[in-house]
Structure 1
Amino acid sequence: MLPGGNTWQLCHREKAGAQMEHQMMNMFAVPLYRGALGRDFTAEEMQFFKAELSEPVQAISNYASANKKVLDAAAMKSIRAALQAHLEQYFKITFNTSNNVSLQITQSWLTRSQKGDAHHTHTHPNSVVSGVLYINLAPTDGINFYRNDDNVWYELLRQQDTYYNASRYFVQTGMGDIILFPSNVRHGVSEVTEQVDRVSLSFNTFFSGEIGREEFSNQLNIRLT
């Protein structure tokens, strides 16, 4: 949801009383993608999630699977294919490159949060685009994204959150939703306040193929295994 509303827009025209007409434009957008698995999870997939989280490891304020390659499992073959298809769509829309390169999933893991747990604000180093698939969550739940205010040297009180001043951007999600976003964007999950096993599958990605240009002496050939 946008701060103060729920409408996506590229620009906003308005009149400031009788003074002057002006135009506000959103420049260099951060590409945030929402899709859906488009089906229910199978019994085999649900059993896999349960088994992987039967002995989770402690994270900072919740729990995660010890396995950091969950999408490599045979039970995850269909889900991995669906996530890769969404990733390719995201890559085509946002990068629109002529390089012979793609984004490939690297590490992947399950996260579990219960009442009183949260997911601290963080980024994902060594990744280009990160993603989340929501498996189980409360009726009103989602993910928070945060503006990088590290270099802001002033403080002003906001009368209303807008595209230009908001420090937090909340996206409500449901079971089966897929969220993709640049890995350097700070994000986290608020404290779980309901009696629910909140389960999600997260993954990172990196370039696989050719990037840069040979004539500029900055070409790299990257092959992920």
Structure 2
Amino acid sequence: MTTIRSLFATRLYQATLGPIDADELRASCYSVAEDDDAGNDWCEANDFPGYTSYASLTDLPWRFPIFEDVVKALDKHVAEFAVDLEFDLDGRKLVMEDIWINILPEGGIHTSHIHPHSVISGTTYVKMPEGASALKLEDPRSQMMMAAPARKPDAREEMKQFVYVRPVVGDVLMWESWLRHEVPMNMSEDDRISVSFNYRWE
């Protein structure tokens, strides 16, 4: 008898964030971007397409109450995901490390990266116009598959080298922070807006 099993799963969590006012959240993102001189200067100095508050602001929940509501909703999702991942937290908690805004204009990309020093990372989606890029996730074993042939185009999702996830406004996606991911070029003429976050073990 032959048995084939899947081992060492990579988990992706997808859910609706919760009862957050999408219009208010979108307007708040634009308001922060307009007023954040340090963030805009950093984006310009680093050739970052569009806007991110990652390098400039650490107090979004204090600035706008709706971000405090977002954090409360995310805390619940992270706790649920941690149960699925079967983490032994040893009486400690996963707490938010940082949260930031991303406004990606037409032609903008976020290159492939991971989130070091965090446990769970993710994004909730604020504006996803038609043609906005999906999230691209990479098989974490890719660097060790030096002599492997390519996968068939119709391979099962769990066998693919890259998986593209196309969320809608109000979705939250989460993964373990070591999972390499990127946002391919935004082909929409409109902005793609998301709010990303990291959780650490405290």
**d(CA) in 2 for partners of 1:42, 1:116:** 24
The structure 1 residue matched to 2:15, chosen from 23, 28, 35, is 35
**d(CA) in 2 for partners of 1:60, 1:34:** 31
The amino acid that maps onto 1:39 is P
Residues matched between the structures, number? 188
Alpha carbons of structure 1 residues 159 and 93: separation in structure 2 relative to 1, 3 Å: closer
Alpha-carbon distance, 1:196 to partner: 1.3
The structure 1 residue matched to 2:138, chosen from 116, 139, 146, is 146
1:38-86 Cα deviation digits (max 9, x unpaired): 3352654333211211243416652312314423444222111101111
The structure 2 residue matched to 1:107, chosen from 90, 98, 122, is 98
Greater RCO between the two (CA within 8 Å, min separation 6)?
2
Alpha carbons of structure 1 residues 60 and 92: separation in structure 2 relative to 1, 3 Å: farther
Alpha-carbon distance, 1:91 to partner: 1.1
The structure 2 residue matched to 1:136, chosen from 96, 107, 127, is 127
Alpha carbons of structure 1 residues 117 and 156: separation in structure 2 relative to 1, 3 Å: same
Give the TM-score of the pair, scaled to structure 2.
Answer: 0.82
Return the structure number with greater helix share. Answer: 2
More displaced, 113-122 or 58-67?
58-67
Q: How does 1:1-225 map onto structure 2 within 5 Å? A: 22-41=2-21, 44-54=24-34, 55=36, 56=40, 57-58=42-43, 61-62=48-49, 63-65=51-53, 66-75=56-65, 76-97=67-88, 99-139=90-130, 141-148=133-140, 149-160=142-153, 161-163=155-157, 165-208=159-202
**d(CA) in 2 for partners of 1:177, 1:189:** 16
Alpha carbons of structure 1 residues 42 and 29: separation in structure 2 relative to 1, 3 Å: closer
- Structure 1, unpaired ranges of 5+: 1-20, 209-225
Q: Which has more radius of gyration?
A: 1
Give the TM-score of the pair, scaled to structure 1.
Answer: 0.74
The amino acid that maps onto 2:147 is Y
**d(CA) in 1 for partners of 2:157, 2:23:** 42
**d(CA) in 1 for partners of 2:61, 2:181:** 22
Alpha-carbon distance, 1:165 to partner: 4.5
**d(CA) in 1 for partners of 2:162, 2:18:** 28
**d(CA) in 1 for partners of 2:108, 2:117:** 26
1:183-207 Cα deviation digits (max 9, x unpaired): 0100011101111111100111111
**d(CA) in 2 for partners of 1:164, 1:142:** 18
Return the structure number with greater strand share. Answer: 1
Alpha-carbon distance, 1:177 to partner: 0.4
Alpha carbons of structure 1 residues 164 and 91: separation in structure 2 relative to 1, 3 Å: closer
| Identical counterparts, % of pairs | 20
In 2, are the aligned partners of 1:60 and 1:120 still within 8 Å (CA)? no
SS in 1 for 2:152: coil
- Structure 2, unpaired ranges of 5+: none
